[in-house]
Amino acid sequence: MRYELVVNGTPREVDSSWLGESLLYVLRERLGLPGSKNACEQGECGSCSVLLDGRLVCACLVLAASAVGAEITTVEGLGGEGPEDLDPIQRAFVEAGAVQCGFCTPGLVVAVHDLLRRVPQPSEWEIREAISGNLCRCTGYGRILDAVQRAARAFAEQAVTR
Amino acid sequence: MTVLERPRRATRGVGVSAPRPDGVPKVRGQFQFSSDLFAEGMLWGHVLRSPHPSARIRRLDVGPAWAIDGVRAVLTAADVPGAPTYGLEIPDQPVLAADVVRYMGEPVVAVAADHPETARRAAAAVLVDYEPLDPLVDPEDAISAPPIHPDGNVFRHLRIEHGDPEARGEVVVEGTYEVGMQDQAFMGPESGLAVPAEDGGVDLYIATQWLHVDRDQVARCLGLPLEKVRLHLAGVGGAFGAREDVSIQVHLCLLALATGRPVKMVLSREDSFFSHVHRHPARIWLRHQADRQGRLVRVDARVLLDGGAYASSSTAVISNATAFATGPYRVPNATVDGWVVRTNNPPCGAMRGFGAVQACFAYEAQMDKLAAALGMDPVQLRLANALRHGDTLITGQRIEGSAPVAQVIEAAAGAPLPAVGPEALPDVALPGGAGRTATRSRVRRGVGFAVGYKNLMYSEGFDDASEARVRLELAEDGPLATVTCAAAEVGQGFVTLARQICEEELGVERVVLAPPSTARIGSAGSTSASRQTWMSGGAVAEACRAVAGRLLERAARRLGTDPGRLVLAEGAVQALEGADALSVAELLAEGPLEETVTFHHRQTEPLDERGQGDAHVAFAFAAHRAVVDVDLDLGLVKVVQIATAQDVGRVLNPLQVLGQIEGGIAQGVGLAVMEEIVLDQGRVRNPSFTDYLIPTALDMPDVAVAALVEEPEPGAPFGAKGVGEPPTISSTPAVVAAIRAATGLPLTRVPVRPADIALATPGDPRP
Amino acid sequence: MTVTVARSVPEALQALAADPPPEVLAGGTDFMVEVNFARRRPEAILAVSRIDALGQWQQSDGQLRLGAGVTYTQLLEPPLAELAPALAQAARTVGSPQIRNAGTIGGNLVTASPAGDTLPVLLALDAEVELASAQGTRTLPLEAFLLGPKRCARRPDELLVAVRFPAPFGRQEFVKVGTRNAMVIAVASVCVVLDPGTGQVRIALGSVGPTPLRARAAEAYLAEQLVPQGTGPTATSAFELRDGDAALAEVRRLVAEAAQPIDDHRSSAAYRRHAVGVCVARALERLLRPAPGAALGEVAA
């Protein structure tokens, strides 16, 4: 069974032997995009966060075949082309020490993109609530909060210099 | 004469907040975790698990599984070619159950198929005729119950007798405390890829804490010589003790060898809960006796741990829980009995804090109870009894290293309290959060304090060495150091530290780490017991020093001088006197230098029949002060702040130390108020992230690090102590002490459930 | 297995007329968990998440009609959050932002979990659901629609297309107890609605029975107890209870009595019974004497 998904701006042909596959499985195992992570496959950890038509969702809960025609953005679609070419959120995560094992990191990077696009200067409690669907077991969230605040500042500075 | 000092650079070497070398690929989603592996033509593995905590297998029919299109292997116990069982310390756990199952989730059949869904369907099609048996679930009963395993039900009983058995104190407090079963709940589920090799062996890419000990167990079960089983570290999505034991390793290799094709397996979260060990549930009785001034005179204790169905590391966990049962205090007289037993509950083993966590919850509750009985301030009572360098432990061991217990207590107790109370917090920050349950007038704030400690590295005579190789060569753009070490990076930051150590010791700017593999180097020991900074950090440092020595010898030959008159600094070998200098690049033009060393810590000894002996290498201490808001009617708790001070020896990377402290506290807070594997007659009721709750960003308190106490530890490379475990030990009792302070309830069990507060009988005695 | 992505309601109803009808997939937040964990192996799936009409809502004649595809995130945003504040409060407690972006009110209704967060609100608002099929459309009151744990009155050939209830309507409070401050299944929840015009109170309880339950004895008792605070020139928008704190205690008792909770791994029956009483009392206190803007609570940004 074949269908087409638009991922990170590129149409991709999916050849699926079973249509029950989640978008997460198709991204990871059929399209070579394993950046979205598989920690729970029931929408309780946020590791597989992607943008579906601009909405932050868990890829594990999207039936891939139902996403035909939608715009899908994964962590691989953020940042620049070069290997060290990071966007301000990714850079802030590295610099703030928000990454340990890193399994939750791609999902958080996508979730923070969604947050800062909607709320450019969030309060601490807005950040906490916005990322409360992204579980992290390593950091205790302290450095992640710092990273989000750094990224918000970086975006604000970018806006000023423009 | 010019005295050359080793220059302190702001951005490199030991002591700076160097960024993680794997940070960039991780934020881009390009870091390859064990679940991201792919091989051409690979199959998918799946394991069928027992639904019963105890049953006899009357009949097993794999025929229906084979009948499904796309199925390539269906393996049972009869297909295990080597040893039928494995285990970290005692090989008592079947690779696949043959005639009986002893816990819910025990593997019975392994399947490989073209698609993971096909593998799941095939496993479900296997017919297993179970005769369910009454499970043995109470650890107290297990001691005398008929054995549920040929090895018996008692994994270990250990008794410590210290000091004068007749000694008595005037003030006596007594209590029994319980700790529920906690899960490590790492994010990256068990996963890996096994690839059959042409030599009849197998290459296994796997997320683990200790490649070599896995390799030994896998080879034994496969009936293959060690060199034909090669384990390579795949990206590890957290560990916290849960990857110390073999889980899917043997199954993956069996399936790859049976099919002649690569086999990948990625566990679902539910299967993950069933396939790794958990923190031991504990029941601990303690009786403290003190004089009127608050000096501890004697402690009696009985520690009972539920080891679950198989041994795992139970014998070492009970050693810690028993040895540390009286806390970081001078206790001149003590009797402690420690038991760890087999039941039909899920197997328990290593988790961050390893036996010290359970003990600390109990002894710190007792210290508060004693302070109340004495009418003394709880912090002052702790200070009055705090261990110091030179003191003797209840195991008879004298503390030869640093023990800044009083310093961590004073610093944590003196940290500023939160600026605002519940009345000034937003709704979402109150107990109950977005559920809007809280009514501010019914929210009470409480403050609690605790201090704890733990051994670093393995104990009781175990020589847990680490091997490392450092190669220094001239690459196209200058000197390059390559570190080869089998230490598993599980998120803690050894990869950062290894680079910092090379920068520090060799002055090189470019350092790469070879992928850890049993095919490349000997064992580095486990990434556990707060040991890799000391052990593998030490191995890397010594290998660097050996390479540096060879570099100096080379330079000495060229300069016609003695190596002792030369020093390596700033990328050059320079004479201590005079202006002679040769750049490292020049010296490496002769060829690369490579040294391999094995690092050992000082030898320890086993405990004798009275539980006495120089059993531990060193100790680390931490103190925590918790501030909580409690909804008195609903029993909901919001932890507001944790202030902490920790004994770290020396800070090698401030940002990574902070990350370990905050992360460790999160797990301690989780155990205090929400985390528990709920069992009902051996059945796990909540094997999912829907129902096994770990703290979210809305649950985690602010962490205030009041002090990192730097008293360099003798014998430790750079004087640094491991920092990963202490944050998890006393944070739990501090939170519970704060809830007691807010509610006046005794609260002798963790996690504290809302009903424990809301439905407590009025008039329950104040602890 | 087949997947049909419907683009309109008639297209969906036509697909549902097949024998056997396909299984309906909306936001996927419950359905896909079962698929991923191999607890559900559908032969045919009808995806309705791309039907624009289902994500629409209309307000007319004091009634709000929410298309079944309205997401929790839509409920959190104005003007819906102002028209149905308790629904917004409930939506905020559903899962995570990711779940709220995908999950729909129709999905919450059809899943019919005893812990469904919006269900007590819809029950307290006397909501009705619209079910459509190739045969036509029928309307059911919520109490007739929710039959038991994970059981509802939808026939396999029907599509739940909308839910209707009065809005704006009185003062509303939703309160939910869970053992974590976010992303948690309700241990107990309550919705209390007060019509200041009539002094009528409606109370619905979640997670304490096979379906959400109305606490009718408590409602009837409150009808006798509720009196406006002050009269004439001193009249305020506040109410008081004739018997004061004793009345509140009686309400707690009646609510606890109405609950039919069970013991499970999330909590005990005793705690749930206790918690709904506390929560109803707290919700009532907020409704009787509202602080300015309090009815809205703090709906997330």
pLDDT tens-place string over residues A20-44: 999 999 999 999 999 999 999 999 9
Architecture of the domain delimited by B39-134+196-267: Alpha-Beta Complex (3.90)
Chain C residue nearest residue A1, CA to CA: C2
Cβ within 8 Å of C, A 3-32: 18-20, 22
pLDDT of residue A161: 73
| Whole-number Å distance between alpha carbons of C183 and B129 | 39
Q: Do C32 and A19 touch (CB under 8 A)?
A: no
Pick A63's closest partner by Cβ from C32, C95, C97. C32
Q: Is the pLDDT of residue C300 over 60?
A: no
Pick B662's closest partner by Cβ from A20, A29, A143. A143
| DSSP codes joined into one string, C112-142 | T-TT-TTHHHHHHTT-EEEEEETTEEEEEEH
Percent of chain B with pLDDT over 70: 98
Cα separations (Å) of B107 from B102, B113, B275, B311, C157? 10, 17, 8, 16, 41
Cα separations (Å) of B265 from A25, B117, C120? 13, 12, 42
Q: Supply C291's token pair.
A: 């602080």
The pTM assigned to this predicted structure is: 0.97
Q: Supply B732's token pair.
A: 């739990």
Cα B160 to chain centroid distance, Å, stands at 25
Decide: helix, strand or coil at residue A114: helix
Q: What is the enclosing helix (H) or strand (E) of C191? A: strand C188-195
Q: Do C279 and B270 touch (CB under 8 A)?
A: no
Spell out the domain ranges in chain A: 2-77, 88-161
Percent of chain C with pLDDT over 90: 90
Spell out the domain ranges in chain B: 23-31+465-599, 39-134+196-267, 399-455+618-767
- The region, left, alpha or beta by phi > 0 then psi within -120 to 50, assigned to residue A8 is left
Contact predicate C141/C131, CB 8 Å: no
Cβ within 8 Å of A, C 99-158: 99, 101-102
Test mutation, A27, A89, A103, A134, chain B, max B CBs within 10 A: A103
CATH code of the domain occupying B399-455+618-767: 3.30.365.10
Superfamily of domain A2-77: Beta-grasp domain (3.10.20.30)
CA pseudo-torsion sign B645, B646, B650, B655: negative
C37 touches chain B (CB under 8 A): yes
Shortest distance, CA B696 to any CA of chain C (angstroms): 7
Q: Do B634 and C184 touch (CB under 8 A)?
A: no
C73 touches chain B (CB under 8 A): no
Q: Do A137 and B27 touch (CB under 8 A)?
A: no
- Residue C300 or residue B550, greater confidence: B550
Q: In what order do the strands lie in the sheet with C2-5?
A: C2-5, C44-47, C23-25
Residues of C in contact with A66 (CB under 8 A): 3, 5, 25, 28, 45, 47, 49-50
pLDDT in tens, C277-298: 999 999 999 999 877 544 443 3
Q: Do B29 and A41 touch (CB under 8 A)?
A: no
Q: Do C176 and B436 touch (CB under 8 A)?
A: yes
Q: How many CB pairs under 8 A join B and C?
A: 106
Average pLDDT, chain B: 96
pLDDT of residue C233: 65
pLDDT of residue B431: 98
pLDDT of residue C232: 65
- Residue A79 or residue B615, greater confidence: B615
Q: Do C96 and A60 touch (CB under 8 A)?
A: no
Q: Which residues pair with A6 in a beta bridge?
A: A11, A71
Q: Supply B40's token pair.
A: 């051409």
Q: Which residues pair with A44 in a beta bridge?
A: none
Q: Is the pLDDT of residue B8 over 70?
A: no
| Whole-number Å distance between alpha carbons of A48 and C98 | 10
3-state helix, strand, coil in chain A (%, to 5): 40, 15, 45
Residue B442's Cβ-count burial label (10 Å; 0-12, 13-18, 19+) is: middle
Q: Do A61 and C45 touch (CB under 8 A)?
A: no
pLDDT in tens, B65-90: 999 999 999 999 999 999 999 999 99
pLDDT of residue C295: 41
pLDDT of residue B765: 45
Rounded mean pLDDT, B191-202:
98
Q: Is the pLDDT of residue B134 over 70?
A: yes
Look at the domain B23-31+465-599 and name its fold.
Aldehyde Oxidoreductase; domain 4 (3.30.365)
Cα separations (Å) of B723 from A156, B408, B651, B662, B665? 36, 14, 9, 11, 12
| Whole-number Å distance between alpha carbons of A108 and A63 | 22
pLDDT of residue B570: 83
pLDDT in tens, B621-648: 999 999 999 999 999 999 999 999 999 9
pLDDT of residue B763: 52
Cα separations (Å) of C289 from B408, B443, C47, C169? 49, 20, 45, 17
Beta-carbon contacts of C196 under 8 Å, excluding residues fewer than 6 positions away, are C170, C171, C237, C239
Rounded mean pLDDT, B32-51:
98
Q: Do A63 and C47 touch (CB under 8 A)?
A: yes
Rounded mean pLDDT, B341-345:
98
Percent of chain B with pLDDT over 90: 96
Q: How confident is the model at residue B2 (pLDDT cuts 50, 70, 90)?
A: very low
Q: Is the pLDDT of residue B109 over 60?
A: yes
Q: How confident is the model at residue A17 (pLDDT cuts 50, 70, 90)?
A: confident
First to last CA, chain A: 48
Q: Which domains does chain C have, with CATH numbers?
A: 171-296 (3.30.390.50)
pLDDT in tens, C135-163: 999 999 999 999 999 999 999 999 999 99
User: Beta strand B202-206 with B229-233: parallel, antiparallel or unpaired?
Assistant: parallel
Cα separations (Å) of B488 from A72, B206, B239, B466, B493? 35, 11, 10, 12, 10
| Whole-number Å distance between alpha carbons of B747 and C275 | 20
Contact predicate C143/C204, CB 8 Å: no
Rounded mean pLDDT, B277-298:
98
Chain C residue nearest residue A134, CA to CA: C96
A61 touches chain C (CB under 8 A): yes
Look at the domain A88-161 and name its fold.
DNA polymerase; domain 1 (1.10.150)
Residues of A in contact with B237 (CB under 8 A): 37, 39, 101-103
| Whole-number Å distance between alpha carbons of B741 and B736 | 9
Identical fold at B23-31+465-599 and B39-134+196-267?
A: no
Rounded mean pLDDT, B12-31:
96
Q: Which residue's structure tokens are 């030599």?
A: B199
Rounded mean pLDDT, B583-592:
96
User: Beta strand C63-67 with C57-60: parallel, antiparallel or unpaired?
Assistant: antiparallel
Q: How many CB pairs under 8 A join A and B?
A: 194
Q: Which residue's structure tokens are 């105890």?
A: B54
Average pLDDT, chain A: 95
Cβ within 8 Å of C, B 691-720: 691, 693, 695-699
Q: Supply B558's token pair.
A: 């060229």
A139 touches chain C (CB under 8 A): no
pLDDT in tens, B498-543: 999 999 999 999 999 999 999 999 999 999 999 999 999 999 999 9
Chain B residue nearest residue A80, CA to CA: B28
pLDDT in tens, C11-54: 999 999 999 999 999 999 999 999 999 999 999 999 999 999 99
Q: Do A44 and B688 touch (CB under 8 A)?
A: yes
pLDDT of residue A82: 77
Residues of C in contact with A126 (CB under 8 A): 300-301
Beta-carbon contacts of A160 under 8 Å, excluding residues fewer than 6 positions away, are none
A66 touches chain C (CB under 8 A): yes
Label residues C214-223 b or e (16+ Cβ within 10 Å = b).
Answer: bbebbbebbe
